[in-house]
Structure 1
């Protein structure tokens, strides 16, 4: 049964945490695994808001740590579904660290997580399409197909020769046409 499409903004989730001593390594920085735990929760909430279903984490794309997040910083994670494919949803995350007394804030991480909606027995179930509205939502929506094909190739679930969207993108960028 096809589900009614939903605007990307309906899944927007903002989660805020304070970095406490138990969250840090010996240098006083937030441990990477702890940050990924926070990110997984925020992304799962966004996926649930979009699908109105139980969701499970299917994959996590590259998570790069641009800046350390210090003890006492406030971490804000913004998560939003960018596109849906049958039962799976791609969620884009941005992480910001804020030192409130110093009045500084900087982006520390960005990632894409993939979730699958499941029914009560754990079987995948269809999710609504995503309607992108802003220019950024449209950009993320359009590029999601390329990221999906790359994920499928890396997981061994798709052969490179079958990645039509990714091949088209690469051929455009490798061999641009003269105008």
Structure 2
């Protein structure tokens, strides 16, 4: 898993915040997707596409002038898919205090030279944190598959007409 580790750090500037002086969620999601994609590419050694985002689970708001740090690694794989864990923390620039702000899981699919899904290697957890995240992979996969079934049923019931 260490081979797939990626990190991105940014200072939250006034233009990155909403009327509550907290970071735009969409901007954070962009950073999450970028960092997770780097982990997936490092692990698979292939181009990747985002298959799903299980959501961003906030623990505390990210404020203007915080330094936001995103750390990611591949924590589980299927045959061609990779689950990537993202840990988002903040550092207050004037005190140096660091706090956990959010976590997220994304799924990516590795693509071969033909543009079709290709097999990926198994990850090996090294650190205690990697082992902790890795251990609940089956539960997350089951929840993800159930959500996909629900989403597909809804999509198949929706109309594209504007009436």
TM-score interval w.r.t. the shorter chain? 0.7 to 0.9
* Aligned residue in 1 for 2:147: 154
* Aligned residue in 2 for 1:80: 73
Q: Deviations over 1:134-175 (max 9, x none)?
A: 333223223112211210111018xxxxxxxxxxxxxxxxxx
Q: Deviations over 1:75-106 (max 9, x none)?
A: 00010110111110011111011111122221
DSSP 3-state at the match of 1:86? coil
Counterpart Cα distance in 2 of 1:107 and 1:142: 21
* Aligned residue in 1 for 2:128: 135
Q: Is there any run of 5+ residues in structure 1 with no aligned partner, and where?
A: 1-7, 158-179
DSSP 3-state at the match of 1:25? coil
2:29 to 32, 36, 56: 36
* Aligned residue in 1 for 2:85: 92
2:119 to 126, 144, 149: 126
Counterpart Cα distance in 1 of 2:92 and 2:82: 32
* Residues 18-57 of structure 1 mapped to structure 2, 5 A cutoff: 18-57=11-50
* Greater Cα offset, 61-70 or 85-94: 61-70
Q: Is there any run of 5+ residues in structure 2 with no aligned partner, and where?
A: 151-163
| TM-score of the aligned structures, taking structure 1 as reference length | 0.79
Q: How far off is 1:121 after superposition?
A: 4.1
* Residues 159-174 of structure 1 mapped to structure 2, 5 A cutoff: none
* Greater Cα offset, 135-144 or 16-25: 135-144
* Greater Cα offset, 50-59 or 118-127: 118-127
| TM-score of the aligned structures, taking structure 2 as reference length | 0.86
DSSP 3-state at the match of 2:56? coil
